[in-house]
Chains A and B, each alone.
Chain A
Amino acid sequence: MVPLIWALGFANAPLLYGLAAASVPILIHLLNRRKFREVRWAAMRFLLAAVRKNQRRIRVEQWLLLAVRTLIILLVVTAMARPFLESMGVVLAGRRVHRVLVLDASMSMGYLTGGVSRFDEAKALAGEMINGSRPGDSVSVLLMGKPPRVVIRTPSHDLKSVAKEVADLSITHGGTDLTATFEALDRVLESSTIVHKEVVFLTDLQAASWKAPEAAVDGLKRAIAKVTARQPNTIVIDLGEPGGENRAVTELRLDAPVVTVGSGVQLRGLIHNHGGKTAQGVRPRLIVDGRVGPAAPPADIAPGDDLPVAFPQEFSTPGDHIVQLALDDDALPLDDRRWLVVPVRESLNVLLVDGQYKPEAYQAETDYLAQALAPSEVSPGHPNAIKVEVVSESQLSRRDLSPYDAVVLCNVGLFGQADVAALEGYLEQGGGVVIFGGDQVDAENYNRWLYQDGKGLLPVEVGASVGDAAKKEGAFRFNPLGYRHPLIADYQGAGGPVTAGLTQALTWQYLKLKLPPKSSAQVALAFETGDPALIEASRNRGTVIVVATSADTGWTTWPIHKSYVPIMQQVVLRASAGRMHERNIRVGQPYDQAFPESALTAPTTVVTPKGLSIAGRLRPSGGVSQFHFEQTDLAGRYQVRIGAPLGQESSFAANPDPAESELARLDQTALGVAMPGWNFLYVHPTNWKELSGDAASVGRRGELHRPMLLAMLVLLLLESFLAWKFGHNEPI
């Protein structure tokens, strides 16, 4: 097919100024005409006769030689400017190409073969492609990750710099976001005016990287369609290999939502064998604050099996503790360790807001609860892990809530705008809010200020109360719903006498809580009627827990049953856990932490696992100073340093997505299925060399400098011949 329009392009267009040199032979010719010597001549008659007969021929010869010499210079200069033909609108090899190199930087690319990671292999191959590019080609570079990173967006002709940029790339420890990658690719392709586009994916085709989550499939299809509409030639170079053994630490967690000094906790880990052979003698070991702690006995793990490990641990000092669960390195060392930042508290501070405050013992709404959380009689040497403070309803709005880990609102009748703002800000900082019902609760006020038609902090709509505590007739019992929820999970499998402490509690009156449709709130405990009794929901970074009945014995006998103390402690711990959960994130996820509003001007620095210091900033957000950090593409511990006036240092840990440890791969067909509507050429690296060789030879066809130099050589020979023929170099 012959292109309709051809355009001439130049790789070194500035050299075209050298075309002025073509005037040199003409100038020499003209100057020669002005410069001559004089000779007295006797044999004039013969000269005149020769001139008369040959004048015309001489003139033609002169112009011919002049034309050849000028053409030689024109060709040399034009060839130096490296011209090439570019066709418009018709696919044909040998034109200027905008090549987008997409390097898979997901963790699985760190798999080592012979000491070389797949990512290094991808970089080397990308380097070869850049070096093999023809003049006039331009290159963009995109890192396929979660999130993807556009390394070079505007097509660069400076191939050396691009090669250096690629050589400096480092792998992320995260997964991939296919949709975002294709959207980024679309933006990169959009930024170039070069008609011929080529996209080269360098990937191990790990199934986990190339399968979009169900919810994202539609978005991915749209993104692929946008990229396809730009008609790039797409090549997928498969750097992966089937098989491959890999053990990975897939989980490391605490069994307690909140850790306080001296309290014994269990650190639980999970080791998974992703390979096809039994992993023998796996020895997971715990490293706490840099000190190697206890190691689990060596164990074998069958293919596809998990090895759960548990280490009892007690933290003796408050502050952030860094726990690491590590294995011996295998071919994919990046997933052989996992970090956990454990913020250890001296004690938990809980604020109880009493809607019916009375000084007499067990007359106030919060007396049972306070006693359950912080018993007044404790064994010596084991102080209470929870400290409670009781204030009346009227003091709520004047309190700074930030020192408290949880705020418990017991039978509070009315809320105002200021109260709601304070509570929202508090939840924003990761605080926990627990709300108990009671006879003072004004459903209309709750729904207006707290529920706000599903937009407020209350996850349920409050209806009229059910039952009548005054008559104490027709009591309701709890339905534990199979003890599935963590709040009451300790009772799972326990004997009848133990569970009786929960199931025998009688409730005469409760608030009817209505969950809105599609609510993410979880019902931990219900009444026999099916109405929710205990609901847990996330709000901002904090947790809201709603109890449908009262905190004291006004509506229910629960406070005098045995289950009340452990479940209430669990409620407060889980409500407080928001401040701890946020310390452990997935690689690639942004890290957010809320600080008091006063810290807004404080200088902020983050030290990455590689020891790199990155300056950050605090931004005001709903009454708090919000710290937001996005460069979390490496696994490990990050330190956040907030300078004066706050003067605080904290840590968080980023861990790889366990799915990235699964090395199962897609083949060419499966890739086509996983990426509907995507046209690509699947190439194995060994075949790539041949292909690139062909491409290079094809590519040269579009370049004109070689034929031009050949033509120049021919003209040089012609010039010598003509000069000889015309008598220039005739021997005398």
Chain B
Amino acid sequence: MENYLKYLDPQTLASLEGLDLQARMVVEGYVAGMHPSPYQGFSVEFAEHREYVPGDDIRHVDWKVWSKTDKLYLKQYEEETNLLLYLLLDTSESMTYGSSPNVTKLDYARFVVASLAYMTLQQQDSVGLITFDDAVRRYLKPAGQASQLKELLHTLDVTPAREKSDIGIVFHDLAERFKKRGVVAVFSDLFDDPARVLTGLKHFRHRRHEVIVFHILDPAELEFPFRSATLFKGLEGMPEVLTEPHALRRAYQDELRSFLAEMKKGCRMMDIDYVPLRTDQPLDVPLSSYLASRAARVR
């Protein structure tokens, strides 16, 4: 239990509790018919009053208002549909990089995944977890039971970092597997061919999934703060490079920037929410970003 708790950083959750979670988690048309929500009608929230017009269902008349004002008003409700959230976690070797004193990208992703899963399950929605590198490694089917969290956290904890990632193929594979429409949240550094990654994402969109990409990078990868001569040992089978980092800093950053720009642009073109994350950022940032993104979708 101790292990699980570390993903549920109370501080992070405390910053979340002030948010109106339910109001922003309305997902249109996502409550799968074959998956009726056990909480149907219960989680319906009052939204506003509307004057009665003939033909309206009188079951929705607010009699309390009538008793006070002698006018017929209908209670209107915002219907909350059940959300199906697919959490896609990249566990390739590149995700195990973490510059001191930051946690590795993988650890950071785990925190966010766990938090989102917990949050989602608390809202009685379904959540699933898929870990992958060059292929799908673990597939935890989406479920909404309370036990799902335990299962999910366990899966997260034991997921080892594996070989190099091939995000394009994995995404195509998963897009075919996800039968029900839902929200696909990707947690990855996306260190792959941008075109292939975007094609994979496009496949999700083609299947009418909502996609949100959490692009996780280490601050060192962004800032490249190395000064003295350094031997860079490539992960995922990349070669070694001995160089004077200060001389290459600008060129490296240019390369990275164009990559990020391409990703961002590609995502925007496909109406995918793109959330860049740094592993030194507080955990509420990705969650806020996620919720803001969801809220925007709902409206």
Which residues of A does B touch, CB under 8 Å? Answer: 32-33, 35-51, 53-54, 58, 61-62, 726-728, 730, 732
> Does the CB pair A39–B255 fall under 8 Å?
no
Q: Known contacts A32-B228, A42-B218: does B248 contact A50 (CB below 8 Å)?
A: yes
Give Cα A38–Cα B245 distance, bound, in whole angstroms. Answer: 12
> Does the CB pair B248–A37 fall under 8 Å?
no
Question: Which 10 pairs across A and B sit closest by C-beta, in order of nearness?
Answer: A50-B251, A42-B97, A36-B229, A42-B94, A44-B238, A46-B255, A44-B234, A41-B232, A50-B252, A58-B247
Which A residue sits closest to B232, measured CB to CB? A41
Give Cα A311–Cα B264 distance, bound, in whole angstroms. Answer: 128
Residues of A within 8 A of B233 (CB): 38-41
> Does the CB pair B228–A54 fall under 8 Å?
no
> Does the CB pair A50–B229 fall under 8 Å?
no
Residues of A within 8 A of B236 (CB): 42, 44
Q: Known contacts A44-B235, A44-B238: does B255 contact A38 (CB below 8 Å)?
A: no
Q: Which one of A32, A42, A726 lies within 8 Å of B229 (CB-CB)?
A: A32
Stretch from B46-54, B116-124, B136-144, B219-227 that touches the partner:
B219-227
Cβ of B5 within 8 Å of any chain A Cβ, yes or no, is: no
> Does the CB pair A730–B247 fall under 8 Å?
no
A33, A40, A62, A726: residue with the most chain B Cβ atoms closer than 10 Å: A40
Give Cα A727–Cα B226 distance, bound, in whole angstroms. Answer: 11
Q: A46-B259, A47-B255 given. 4 additional CB < 8 A pairs?
A: A39-B230, A42-B236, A43-B97, A43-B256
Q: Which one of A38, A42, A54 lies within 8 Å of B230 (CB-CB)?
A: A38
Please name 16 pairs of A and B residues whose Cβ atoms are closer than 8 Å in the assembled complex, sorted by A: A36-B229, A36-B242, A37-B229, A37-B231, A39-B226, A39-B233, A42-B191, A43-B189, A47-B241, A48-B238, A48-B241, A51-B248, A58-B247, A726-B246, A727-B250, A732-B225
Give Cα A49–Cα B239 distance, bound, in whole angstroms. Answer: 12
B36 to chain A, nearest CB (A): 44
Residues of A within 8 A of B254 (CB): 50
Give Cα A727–Cα B249 distance, bound, in whole angstroms. Answer: 8
B94 to chain A, nearest CB (A): 4
Which A residue sits closest to B234, measured CB to CB? A44
Q: Which one of B191, B232, B249 lies within 8 Å of A39 (CB-CB)?
A: B232
A349 to chain B, nearest CB (A): 107
Residues of B within 8 A of A45 (CB): 191, 238
Cβ of B244 within 8 Å of any chain A Cβ, yes or no, is: yes
Residues of B within 8 A of A51 (CB): 241, 243, 248, 251
* B interface residues, tally (CB under 8 Å): 40
Q: Known contacts A32-B228, A35-B229: does B248 contact A43 (CB below 8 Å)?
A: no
State the main secondary structure of chain B at its contact with A.
mixed
Q: Which one of B228, B229, B234 lies within 8 Å of A41 (CB-CB)?
A: B234
Give Cα A582–Cα B239 distance, bound, in whole angstroms. Answer: 108
Give Cα A42–Cα B161 distance, bound, in whole angstroms. Answer: 13
Give Cα A106–Cα B223 distance, bound, in whole angstroms. Answer: 85
Which A residue sits closest to B217, measured CB to CB? A43
Give Cα A61–Cα B243 distance, bound, in whole angstroms. Answer: 13
Which A residue sits closest to B229, measured CB to CB? A36
Give Cα A43–Cα B252 distance, bound, in whole angstroms. Answer: 9
> Does the CB pair A58–B244 fall under 8 Å?
yes
Give Cα A732–Cα B218 distance, bound, in whole angstroms. Answer: 15
The residues in B between 195 and 241 inclusive whose CB is less than 8 angstroms from any CB of A are: 217-218, 221, 223, 225-226, 228-236, 238-239, 241
Which residues of B does A touch, CB under 8 Å? Answer: 93-97, 105, 189, 191, 217-218, 221, 223, 225-226, 228-236, 238-239, 241-244, 246-252, 254-256, 259
Give Cα A390–Cα B236 distance, bound, in whole angstroms. Answer: 139
Give Cα A62–Cα B229 distance, bound, in whole angstroms. Answer: 13
Q: Known contacts A728-B246, A730-B249: does B256 contact A46 (CB below 8 Å)?
A: yes
Residues of A within 8 A of B229 (CB): 32-33, 35-37
> Does the CB pair A36–B231 fall under 8 Å?
yes
> Does the CB pair B238–A53 fall under 8 Å?
no
Residues of B within 8 A of A58 (CB): 243-244, 247-248
Residues of B within 8 A of A32 (CB): 228-229
A57 to chain B, nearest CB (A): 8
Give Cα A46–Cα B263 distance, bound, in whole angstroms. Answer: 14
A682 to chain B, nearest CB (A): 67
Residues of B within 8 A of A46 (CB): 252, 255-256, 259
B260 to chain A, nearest CB (A): 10
> Does the CB pair A47–B235 fall under 8 Å?
no
Q: Known contacts A32-B229, A45-B238, A727-B247: does B189 contact A50 (CB below 8 Å)?
A: no
A95 to chain B, nearest CB (A): 47
A681 to chain B, nearest CB (A): 62
Residues of A within 8 A of B96 (CB): 42
Give Cα A43–Cα B192 distance, bound, in whole angstroms. Answer: 10
B141 to chain A, nearest CB (A): 30
B97, B236, B243, B244: residue with the most chain A Cβ atoms closer than 10 Å: B244
Which B residue sits closest to A50, measured CB to CB? B251
A35, A36, A38: residue with the most chain B Cβ atoms closer than 10 Å: A36
Give Cα A58–Cα B251 distance, bound, in whole angstroms. Answer: 11
A219 to chain B, nearest CB (A): 79
Give Cα A592–Cα B93 distance, bound, in whole angstroms. Answer: 111
Give Cα A49–Cα B255 distance, bound, in whole angstroms. Answer: 7
Q: Which one of B191, B241, B247 lies within 8 Å of A61 (CB-CB)?
A: B247
Give Cα A54–Cα B246 distance, bound, in whole angstroms. Answer: 12
Residues of B within 8 A of A42 (CB): 93-97, 105, 189, 191, 218, 221, 235-236
Give Cα A61–Cα B221 distance, bound, in whole angstroms. Answer: 24
A37, A45, A62, A728: residue with the most chain B Cβ atoms closer than 10 Å: A45
Which A residue sits closest to B259, measured CB to CB? A46
B185 to chain A, nearest CB (A): 21
B201 to chain A, nearest CB (A): 19
Residues of B within 8 A of A37 (CB): 228-231
B280 to chain A, nearest CB (A): 14
> Does the CB pair A53–B246 fall under 8 Å?
no
Give Cα A596–Cα B228 distance, bound, in whole angstroms. Answer: 94
Q: Which one of A38, A48, A728, A732 lies within 8 Å of B239 (CB-CB)?
A: A48
Residues of B within 8 A of A727 (CB): 246-247, 249-250
Residues of A within 8 A of B218 (CB): 42
Residues of A within 8 A of B105 (CB): 42
Give Cα A49–Cα B238 distance, bound, in whole angstroms. Answer: 12
B92 to chain A, nearest CB (A): 9
A34 to chain B, nearest CB (A): 9
> Does the CB pair A54–B248 fall under 8 Å?
yes
Give Cα A242–Cα B223 distance, bound, in whole angstroms. Answer: 86
A600 to chain B, nearest CB (A): 87
Residues of B within 8 A of A50 (CB): 248, 251-252, 254-255
Residues of B within 8 A of A732 (CB): 223, 225
Residues of A within 8 A of B244 (CB): 58, 62
Give Cα A319–Cα B231 distance, bound, in whole angstroms. Answer: 105
> Does the CB pair B250–A38 fall under 8 Å?
no
Residues of B within 8 A of A730 (CB): 246, 249-250
Residues of B within 8 A of A33 (CB): 229
B237 to chain A, nearest CB (A): 10
Give Cα A466–Cα B75 distance, bound, in whole angstroms. Answer: 186
> Does the CB pair A40–B255 fall under 8 Å?
no
Q: Known contacts A32-B229, A728-B246: does B251 contact A53 (CB below 8 Å)?
A: yes
Q: Known contacts A38-B233, A46-B252, A50-B255: does B228 contact A726 (CB below 8 Å)?
A: no
> Does the CB pair B248–A47 fall under 8 Å?
yes
Q: Which one of A39, A47, A61, A62 lies within 8 Å of B252 (CB-CB)?
A: A47
A35, A48, A62: residue with the most chain B Cβ atoms closer than 10 Å: A48
> Does the CB pair A41–B97 fall under 8 Å?
yes
Which A residue sits closest to B254, measured CB to CB? A50
> Does the CB pair B247–A38 fall under 8 Å?
no
Residues of A within 8 A of B249 (CB): 727, 730
Residues of B within 8 A of A61 (CB): 247
Which A residue sits closest to B237, measured CB to CB? A44
Which A residue sits closest to B105, measured CB to CB? A42
